[in-house]
Homo-oligomer: A and B are copies of this chain.
């Protein structure tokens, strides 16, 4: 494995900083789902916590570091889950948290960000517009900007999931957005269990990082078109791409119908309400059953924050 920004000792140490409520999440074989998909499927469930996503593993590290350094405020851009997680982690450490998000983000996520006591600023346009605005805001206010996937703590936090992926796995399916989770978990797997295939999954409608991985250079896109709001970026970060090139065995794209089918299967066969990004792994199996037939595959169910009206429309039989 080529060098990355990640380090196993730091990732192991991160477990001491992260509130235990976000660690050691359920990992279990879901027989009913596996029968449907023709392989053994283990679910790593990151939704049974106060922010219903894996993001707090990273924000716990970020907020702890900032508080230790004497900071009193922090700004981030968020598609919705990072903002909730930073809101939660910041509040406990007395940090004023400002979140910039797209007006088009799911209302459920925006409502929860506000409820957690964060200041929420909405911008027109997509997540990349929110990123620009958050950077400007942080500069104007002289406040620390948290950049998901670029700030190493966000990757290290996500990477702690990798430490918990024990068992005889053949492949792990990881939702790919900015790349914090894919590089973090991928790094741990390639370090401790190199035989496990690390497969990143992104929507066809938001393919920038996947295309970048295949072309081994940053490829941006003009727009995104996917229900998987949590992974809909357009501008891959060069340093994160470098790490992804070192740790991922593959990066695949799935279509919207498969994401919806994945959400429906997770509800019907596993009893789990998940947001579209969390169904990417099941979608990847659905699109390439032969590849996974008979193998033991883990999929990280990374978030469950969803607008229920849209959700019901998607999963309706």
Contacts and interface: CB of A to CB of B under 8 A. Distances in A.
A28 B49 contact: yes
Interface stretch (A93-101, A186-194, A264-272, A292-300): A264-272
A267 B308 contact: yes
Contacts of A304: 271
Contacts of A26: 21, 25-26, 48-49
A222 to B, nearest CB: 33
A107 to B, nearest CB: 12
Interface in A14-28: 21, 24-28
A115 B34 CA distance: 12
Interface in A267-292: 267-268, 271-273
Contacts of A272: 273
A228 B168 CA distance: 38
A31 to B, nearest CB: 6
A139 interface: no
Contacts of A45: 48
Nearest to A112: B32
A5 interface: no
A251 B300 CA distance: 39
Kindly report how many copies of this chain are found in the complex they form together: 2
A308 B28 contact: no
A306 interface: yes
A47 B21 CA distance: 17
A305 interface: yes
Interface string A83-109: 000000000000000000000000000
A35 to B, nearest CB: 7
Interface string A35-57: 10000000101011110100000
Given A21-B28, A24-B24, A25-B26, A47 B115 contact: no
A116 interface: yes
Given A29-B50, A30-B50, A271 B115 contact: no
Interface in A105-141: 112, 115-116
A213 to B, nearest CB: 31
Interface of A: 21, 24-32, 35, 43, 45, 47-50, 52, 112, 115-116, 267-268, 271-273, 304-306, 308
Given A21-B26, A267-B308, 14 more contacts: A21-B27, A21-B28, A28-B49, A28-B50, A29-B50, A31-B50, A31-B115, A31-B116, A32-B112, A32-B115, A43-B48, A48-B48, A271-B304, A272-B273
6 contacts: A26-B48, A28-B48, A47-B271, A48-B48, A271-B305, A271-B306
